[in-house]
Amino acid sequence: MLDPHPPRRWQETFVMIIAALSGTWMVAIGLWALLAPRSFANWIDFPPYAEHLLHDVGAFQIGIGLSLLAALVWSDAKTVALLGFVVAGVIHTVNHTIDLDLGGHTADTWFIGASTVVAGAALALRVRTIRNRRTAKEAA
């Protein structure tokens, strides 16, 4: 079925540019919060300083940023969303492992890690399903 109102070329270009800029910005901010939390905390000037919280902010910012960037090349929303969740989840799990001395519970690491593994399995299944559909369509 044809779209009765297809986007104009400039509209699609605008969306692609903004998604790329936003994704790059989110990844950069996320890396800053994750790798240099004291510097990031000074920049946002939001006391009190909580290193683990800033590490988590970095994890989530990176996940959001990579989702935006992935959407530039993948049109499947479920794949893009799961990818962002898995990337953020892996970093978040590592944060909880490394930052255990800063607070939190040992069980947090296991719960976050388990949800990330399950989402990773869903992502792999989704990618496989899409690939199989494409292969079947090409063979037909």
pTM over 0.85: no
User: What length is written for the chain?
Assistant: 140
The model's pLDDT over 27-48, given as tens digits with 9 standing for 90+, comes to 999 999 999 999 998 888 877 8
* Count of C-beta atoms within a 10 Å radius of residue 78: 14
The model's pLDDT over 101-121, given as tens digits with 9 standing for 90+, comes to 987 788 989 999 999 999 999
Tokens coding 19: 């998604």
DSSP reduced 3-state for 97? helix
